[in-house]
Structure 1
């Protein structure tokens, strides 16, 4: 792998890091399988692209994207808690609806940002560094700031309610906490992070597309599992940092795999889903294989 490819993988890993944090909140903290992310990522990109094209600042556009993502997540939460629709089905319904909503927002399947001022351009101009170096630094700093905010939030009273709702809903209900409200808020927060990630990705790539969210949940779950396998998850802080680093490792692994050539056979971008599936299988089975290996050595 070339240095340029490595920096590119780090850039993608940190850009999607907020998405992975959002997936972690629903998947691990709330124990809520949420497929809304496949729609909220392009939602954030669409809102950001339209806002920037309308003359708003790139940072404000990203915040607006986060607000839109929060509303999308709330819809999924309401469908599940108030209308009693199975969480998986509720998220699928929202995801399907968001495809049409994203088309409505942009007015077309994709929108370019070429020539428009983005957070990437502003940070590069501020630092004076080459784009290949400044972009990973920018997204890395944003990811670390969000991780710090999430660690603080999850240690507040509301954050502890979110943790307790995912861990033991009966216990927290007996304490007078409305778990429906907590779930709606938690899923909303998760999708807000995913939408901001979509806004950053769109600003980095110079375009927003309605299909850019396909496979987002798989990439998010793979990153979470890889991070937990490699770095552990004994504490909330460690788990959140592991999720972001898992996103980077996932993108590095993808870059390595795409550059792999075995004789006449070479891996192409069309094999991305296959590579992802293999990585998830390895990440899921690695801890068990490691435990068996250590048990065999001790005996």
Structure 2
């Protein structure tokens, strides 16, 4: 049982980086960005191909980060410069990335067995693979949260947050909302690709299909984090996203342990997200809002 929990925590920490990326577009920019389904696989593809080519694993992760940022840039340009709706821009980039990822890897999947990875340093210190993943995953999550907390407190970071809340007000202040949207998409997909690179090295392979359904997993983690761990301020919200990703993985691990077929996991996740998103509407049906009229009005 302990090994199951440790495995879920280790995977949850890696997916937490992706969850934070999804949060930036979904909550901060108010954009449903499907680019992430391609950029997470792109990060894995770039890292795997770089490592098999003899490049240092940490440099490979950096290249994956840049690749994801480039994917976000393309989506941002399609949306802001060509005036294609945000949802469709993400879909177009996602479709294009499937072919690009195949080009990068040269085949449908790349094995990383017996290759040095970013976890090798921790394993050389005597840690098991799970513990090595947890150690590095925790370092990455804390670093990402700290950097984003600082960045979104700067002038340009606040402009990005304001763009999602009220773009008309932001434009009235003389801020170019096209630039803030592009920056948000670049940062988001960079984090998603970083997550993909870490996940590929933890499971010792990269696959062109590994991004399928990742947007739903990211949304499930965001919603679980917000519901269970709150959203009092921006820093606690970022921490809750990481805890939400870990909680989601623990839930999945226990569901599988109870006998749910692995083929039903995506259905289970989709239902979970749909119910969570529909909770306000469901509450209104159960407890209709009452309008009180004061005497004399």
Whether TM-score is above 0.5 comes out as yes
Measure the CA separation in 1 of the matches of 2:241 and 2:285: 25
Measure the CA separation in 2 of the matches of 1:291 and 1:5: 38
Please list the CA deviations of residues 173-216 of structure 1 after superposition, one character each: whole Å capped at 9, or x if unmatched: 11111110111111011000000000000111111110000000
Q: Which residue of 1 aligns with 2:264?
A: 271
Q: How does 1:83-102 map to 2 (within 5 A)?
A: 83-102=82-101
How far the C-alpha of 1:289 sits from its partner, in A, is: 7.3
Measure the CA separation in 2 of the matches of 1:230 and 1:288: 19
1:233 aligns with 2:231: yes
Please list the CA deviations of residues 145-196 of structure 1 after superposition, one character each: whole Å capped at 9, or x if unmatched: 1111110110011101110111111111111111101111110110000000
SS for the counterpart of 1:267 is coil
Measure the CA separation in 2 of the matches of 1:130 and 1:257: 25
| Aligned pair partner of 1:175 in 173, 181, 188 | 173
Measure the CA separation in 1 of the matches of 2:101 and 2:174: 38
Measure the CA separation in 2 of the matches of 1:82 and 1:101: 22
Please list the CA deviations of residues 215-245 of structure 1 after superposition, one character each: whole Å capped at 9, or x if unmatched: 0000000000010000111211111111111
Q: Which residue of 1 aligns with 2:293?
A: none
1:57 aligns with 2:50: no
Q: How does 1:123-142 map to 2 (within 5 A)?
A: 123-126=122-125, 128-142=126-140
How far the C-alpha of 1:134 sits from its partner, in A, is: 2.5
Q: After TM superposition, where is structure 1 displaced by more than 3 Å over at least 4 residues in a row?
A: 281-295
Measure the CA separation in 1 of the matches of 2:172 and 2:151: 23
Query: What TM-score do you get using the length of structure 1 for normalisation?
Result: 0.92
Structure 1 contact 43–198 (Cα < 8 Å) conserved = yes
Measure the CA separation in 2 of the matches of 1:109 and 1:273: 21
| Aligned pair partner of 1:154 in 148, 152, 155 | 152
Change (3 A) 1:125 1:286: farther
Measure the CA separation in 1 of the matches of 2:129 and 2:115: 16
Q: Which residue of 2 aligns with 1:117?
A: 116
Count how many residue pairs are aligned between Structure 1 and Structure 2.
288
How far the C-alpha of 1:53 sits from its partner, in A, is: 1.4
Q: Which residue of 1 aligns with 2:184?
A: 186
Gapped runs of 5+ residues in structure 1? 261-265
SS for the counterpart of 1:111 is strand
How far the C-alpha of 1:115 sits from its partner, in A, is: 1.1
1:247 aligns with 2:245: yes
1:280 aligns with 2:273: yes
Please list the CA deviations of residues 22-55 of structure 1 after superposition, one character each: whole Å capped at 9, or x if unmatched: 0000000011110000000010001001111121
Measure the CA separation in 2 of the matches of 1:209 and 1:129: 26
Which range moved further: 38-47 or 278-287? 278-287
CA RMSD, 1 decimal: 1.8
Which range moved further: 110-119 or 271-280? 271-280
Gapped runs of 5+ residues in structure 2? 289-297
Query: What TM-score do you get using the length of structure 2 for normalisation?
Result: 0.93
Change (3 A) 1:288 1:76: same
Measure the CA separation in 2 of the matches of 1:88 and 1:205: 30
